[in-house]
Amino acid sequence: MELISPNIGLVFWTTLTFLVLFLLLKKFAWPVILSTLKERETAIANALSAAEKAREEMKQLHADNEKLLREARMQCDEILRRGNEMRKEAIGKAQNEAQKEYDRLLENARLAIETEKKAAIVELQNEVAKLSIDIAEKILREEMKNKQQYDKLIEKSIQDITNNKL
């Protein structure tokens, strides 16, 4: 029976001891311990979230870099492509112009040759005419000397002219 009948003295001392212990610890121990623990937890949580943020930023930065690089590459490609085009165009144009110049020069040359040819023909005609006149003159002078010879000469001259056409 004594096992389960609380002793008044012990009840008194337990109450007193426990209450005093609680008040002392509440005043001197728990606030510092608990607040430090909380502080540390907040610090760790903050550090973790900061690290997470930094990682996120790094990722963002990386993505930005990637994007910039891609854009740069695209621009580079574009510039190269345009350069190529321009080169082709320039070459084409130059070729065209050269052809035109060549054609023009050729035409000019042809015209000049034609003109020269015509002049030469005229000159030749004149020369032939002059030669004819000279021959005619010679014949006429021979005729005075020999009638037969004269005839033969005319004949030969005519033959020559006919053979030569000119």
Partner 1 sequence: MFTRKTLSILMLMFVAFPLNASEPESDFNPGEMILNHILDSHEWHIATVGKTHISIPLPILLIHDGKFHAFMSSKFHHGHSDYRGFRLMLEGDYKGKIVAVNSQGNILPKLPIDLSITKNAFSLLFVASLLFFIFVNISKIYKRRGSGLPPTKFQNLIEPIILFVRDDIVKVAIPIKYVDRYLPYLLTLFFFILFCNLLGLVPFFPGGASVTGNVAVTLVLAMFTFVITTVSGNRTYFREIINTSGAPWWMKFPIPLLPAIEVIGVLTKPVVLMIRLFANIMAGHIIILGLISMIFILGNMSAIAGYGVSALSVGFTLFISLLELIVAFVQAFVFTLLTSFYIGMAKAEHH
CB of 45 to partner 1, least distance (A): 12
Q: Which is nearer to partner 1, 28 or 144 (CB)?
A: 28
Instruction: Quote the CA–CA distance of 124 and 130 in Å, as a whole number.
Output: 9
Q: Which of 119, 51, 80, 29 is nearest to 127 (CA)?
A: 119
In sequence order, which residues have a C-beta less than 8 Å from that of residue 9 and are 6 or more positions away? Answer: none
142, 150 contact by CB (below 8 A)? yes
Q: Interface with partner 1 by CB under 8 A: which residues?
A: 2-15, 17-18, 20-22, 24-26, 28-34, 36-37, 39-40, 43
Residue 60 dihedral angles phi and psi, to the nearest 5° = -60, -45
CB of 68 to partner 1, least distance (A): 40
Q: Which is nearer to partner 1, 47 or 121 (CB)?
A: 47
Q: Which is nearer to partner 1, 20 or 106 (CB)?
A: 20
CB of 34 to partner 1, least distance (A): 6
CB of 47 to partner 1, least distance (A): 11
Q: Which is nearer to partner 1, 33 or 58 (CB)?
A: 33
Instruction: Outline where the chain has alpha helix (H).
Output: 8-28, 30-143, 147-164
